[in-house]
Amino acid sequence: MNYRWAIAPPQSSLACSLAADFQISPLLAQCLVNRGVEMPDRVAAFLEPRLKNLADPFLLPNMDAAVARLVQARQAGESLVIFGDYDVDGVTSTAILLEFLSALGWKVDFYLPHRMEEGYGLSQEAVRNCLAKFPVSLLLAVDCGSSANETIAQLKASGIDVIVLDHHQLSTPAPPAHALVNPHLANDATLPFRELCSAGLAFKMAHALLKRGRREAWPKAESYDLRPLLDLVALGTIADLVPLIGENRILVAAGLERLNRTARPGLIALRAVAQIARMIGVYEVGYQLAPRLNAAGRLENAEHALQLLLAKAPAEAQALAAELDGHNRERQRIERGIAEQVIEALRQTWENDRYVIVEGDLMWHVGVVGIVASRVLREFHRPTIIMGGDGESWRGSGRSIEGFDLAAALKDCTDLLLRHGGHAMAAGLSMKPENLAALRTRLDELARTRLTPEQLKPVLRLDAAVPLQQLTLDQIKELARLEPSGQGNWPVHVAISKVRCARTPQRFGKGHLRFWITDGNCTLEAIRWNGSELSLPEGVFDVAAIPQLNEFRGSQSIQLKVLDWRAASTA
C-alpha cells in the first residue's frame, strides 16, 4: 500500500500559546490543534475527561417521551421486552438496560435476533418470534429500528408501543415509534455531542431514568450507582468504531478504568481466554475482547455473549468464555478463507480505475462478510461490499473510505435492495442476487461523482515532523495524555526525516521486522509489524511512525511503530 503523506502544517503561534497556558510541550499542543481542540475550555476538557462533563441526558431527542412511557410501565407493573442487536454494541446496550431496569423495579425480558435465521434488526420474522415468546405491549428496540418503518407501523396498529434507542441513520420519513431517541434527529445547537453509539445512549437512558427515580424517591434509586455499567459502555463504544472524542472520550476513559478492575465474572473469564496480561486499552478491547463477543452472533446466536456479560457465577462465566473463544477461532478460519478467495480474485483482474468493490457468493457465510469487507478495503482502499448467500436473498456488509458516505449511497440504490441501513463508514444490506452487478455499477457511478482519484490512495496523516532526539521518554509519556486513542482521535503519528539504519535489521516472530534508525546523534529501535518481506531503503530515508513506550522486565524504552518509509525528502 502506497500512502500519501500529509504532515499537518505547523501552528506555531497557537501551539505555543496553548503550551504556555496549560504547561504542556509544543508537540502535545500541536497534536491537540490537529484534532480540532484549540479553545481553552475544550483543551481542559480533553486533557481531563470527567463524567461530570457529560451533557444532560434529557437533551437527547425524545428522551422525555421515552422516559415517560418507561415510567408508566414501571408504575403499572407492565412487562416490556428489550429487542437488541447481535453485535457488541447491541449486546452491551441490551446488558446495560437489562441490568439497570431489573434493579430499579421493571419487569423486563430481552430478545436478540438470530443473524442467520432472522436477519438484522426489527425484521418482521424476528419481531413475530419475539412477541410469541414475550407477548408484551411495550418493546424497547436498542441499536436498531431507525429505518424499520413497516414493522413499527404494524406494531403500532396492533397496540404495541415501540421505543427506539439507536444511533444509525434514519429513514425518510422516520419510523412512527412512540419515542425515537436518535441523536441524528437533533441539531448541534440543541445537542452538544451526536456521535454516541447505542451503548452510550443506553447509559444516557439509564441516567435519565435514574434522575427521574431520585426526584420521585423510588426505592433503590438514591443508592444506585451507574458507574459499574461503564465497563460495558467502553466495550460497546470501542467495538462500534465511533469517534473517541467528546462524550465518547469521557465514557471510554472512565470505562477502561472500570474495565481493568471489573468484578464481572464474565469479563474476567473473557480476559483470561484472550490471554491479556497487561492493562486493557483500546487495542485489547477492539482486537481481543470484542471479536470474541462478536463471534457468538456471527456464527450462531448472540445470547451467549449477553449471558457472559451478565453471568454471576465464575464457573458459568468460564464455560461461556471458552465457548465464545472457540466460536472466534472458527470465525477466523471461515473469514480467512473467504478473504483470501476475494483478494486473490481481485488481484488477478484488478484495474486501478475501479472505484468500488462489490462481490458476493452463495457459499460465503453472512456472519463474517463485514470483517472480510474490512480486510479487502485495507488491501485495495476502495469502498467495499461483500455479500453472502441466504436463500433467495443475499445479505452483506459494507465498509467505506473517507469521502464516501456508504449509507447515503445505498439510499440512492433503494430500488435494487430489500433492506439497508448503517453509517457513513459501515452499512448493512440485503438484496436479490440478480441485482449484484447492477448495484456494483450504480455504486461505481456514485463514487465517481463523490471521490477524486487522489482519495483512492490512502492518506497517512502525520501530526508533525520531529527530530529523533525530541522523542524522549518524558515526551512520550506526556503524549499519552491524548489516550484513549482510536477512531477520530488517532495515536500520535510523526514524520522523522533523514535517518539511516544503525544496525542490521532483524526478522522475528510471524513476519515482523526490527531495525534501528539514527540521525547521527540519537538511535532508536523501530518495529514494522508484518514487514519482514519489505526492503528498507538504502542510505538516508524518512520514517512515519507512532512513538510508543516499551516496557520490559521493569525498564522502559522508546520504540517506534513504523507505518511507512520513503526516500529522504529534499526539503
The pLDDT profile of the chain, 571 residues, written as one tens digit per residue, is: 578 999 999 988 999 999 999 999 999 999 999 999 999 999 999 999 999 999 999 999 999 999 999 999 999 999 999 999 999 999 999 999 999 999 999 999 999 998 778 877 899 999 999 999 999 999 999 999 999 999 999 999 999 999 999 999 898 899 999 999 999 999 877 898 999 999 999 999 999 999 999 999 999 999 999 999 999 999 999 999 899 999 999 999 999 999 999 999 999 999 999 999 889 999 999 999 999 999 888 877 899 999 999 999 999 999 999 999 999 999 999 999 999 999 999 999 998 889 999 999 999 998 899 999 999 999 999 999 999 987 788 999 999 999 999 999 999 999 999 988 888 888 999 999 999 999 999 999 999 999 999 999 999 999 999 999 999 999 999 999 999 999 889 999 999 999 999 988 888 888 899 999 999 999 999 999 988 788 888 899 999 999 999 888 788 999 999 999 998 876 5
Residue 44, Cβ density class (10 Å: 0-12 exposed, 13-18 middle, ≥19 buried): middle
- Grid coordinates belonging to 405: 458516505
Q: Are strands 541-552 and 555-567 parallel, antiparallel or unpaired?
A: antiparallel
**What are the start and end residues of each CATH 3.10.310.30 domain in the chain?**
350-456
- For the chain, the straight-line distance linking the first and the last C-alpha, in angstroms and rounded, comes to 24
Place of cell 476513559: 253
**What are the start and end residues of each CATH 3.90.1640.30 domain in the chain?**
57-227
> Do 431 and 417 contact (CB within 8 A), yes or no?
yes
pLDDT value for 1: 52
Whole-angstrom distance, CA of residue 267 vs CA of residue 310:
9
Class of domain 350-456: alpha beta
Q: Are strands 107-111 and 79-83 parallel, antiparallel or unpaired?
A: parallel
**What are the start and end residues of each CATH 2.40.50.460 domain in the chain?**
4-8+459-567
Whole-angstrom distance, CA of residue 154 vs CA of residue 125:
12
Whole-angstrom distance, CA of residue 480 vs CA of residue 546:
12
Whole-angstrom distance, CA of residue 533 vs CA of residue 503:
18
CATH number of 4-8+459-567: 2.40.50.460
Class of domain 57-227: alpha beta
pLDDT value for 536: 81
pLDDT value for 571: 58
> Do 30 and 13 contact (CB within 8 A), yes or no?
no
pLDDT value for 184: 93
Whole-angstrom distance, CA of residue 465 vs CA of residue 543:
10
Query: What's at 453, amino acid-wise?
Result: P
